[in-house]
Structure 1
């Protein structure tokens, strides 16, 4: 797959989402992602999202641009963007898991980054940490 990348980002919902709203959002995302050949993972915890989107560079940039302008998100931080040789979530049009604080504490390598007050946290060189968190989540949930 030429020109394959992934972007990992963090954002906050402008309001708490009900189970019904989350399910509706996921249904919409999955339909759109399937059409555009986008795969990934979405985690939701207390109004905070962390998402991995993977696919063609141009398409991923377009999707991230739309997400960045979406009024349902606030404080969007791109954690990681890099080329990849293969997809981490090839069969998931958008894998999803809602996690709570108790589940967070059980994840190896867990960091409370999603709820820190530090807005100037350095994002450079965190590829290993981001992928460790995502892989730990996938393995242990």
Structure 2
């Protein structure tokens, strides 16, 4: 099993980026489910942070698609490592709507990161709103 954590910036303006997230998620769920890839997509304004994990050959293919995807830029790999077990059993997305309190958002994120390695948690905590 291979795990990659990366961050990137949306090429859309912030409002349009928020509107595009459901479509991005639908495509990812369909394609990644077939390829055995799971993970967590975190968005904050125009920033994306994603942890993905799955079979090495599927991950290599996905990474190539991500680099070609023009919906984001400045893709930066933060972690690329082998893992024995999935840290994320399901594909999910978390995004803070401006109407949601920071405390409520933090509670949702805490649940999703339960049981995840400290290294992975730190990447997600770094992008949380202050």
Shorter chain as normaliser: what TM range?
0.7 to 0.9
Cα displacement (A) at 1:133: 4.4
Cα displacement (A) at 1:33: 1.1
Residue 99 (1) aligns with residue 96 (2): yes
Which residue pairs with 2:29 in the alignment? Answer: 30
Root mean square deviation, CA, Å: 2.8
Contact 2:17 2:46 in 1 (8 A): no
Segments of structure 2 that go 5 or more residues without pairing to the other structure are 107-116
Number of aligned residue pairs: give it: 112
Q: C-alpha deviations, 1:72-91, integer Å up to 9, x for none?
A: 1111100000000000112x
For residues 30-49 of structure 1, what are the structure 2 equivalents within 5 Å?
30-49=29-48
Which segments of structure 1 move beyond 4 Å, counting only runs of 4 or more? none
TM-score with structure 2 setting the length = 0.73
Distance in 2 (alpha carbons) for counterparts of 1:100 and 1:20: 11
TM-score with structure 1 setting the length = 0.68
* Equivalent of residue 5 in structure 1, options 2, 11, 29: 2
* Equivalent of residue 122 in structure 2, options 115, 119, 132: 132
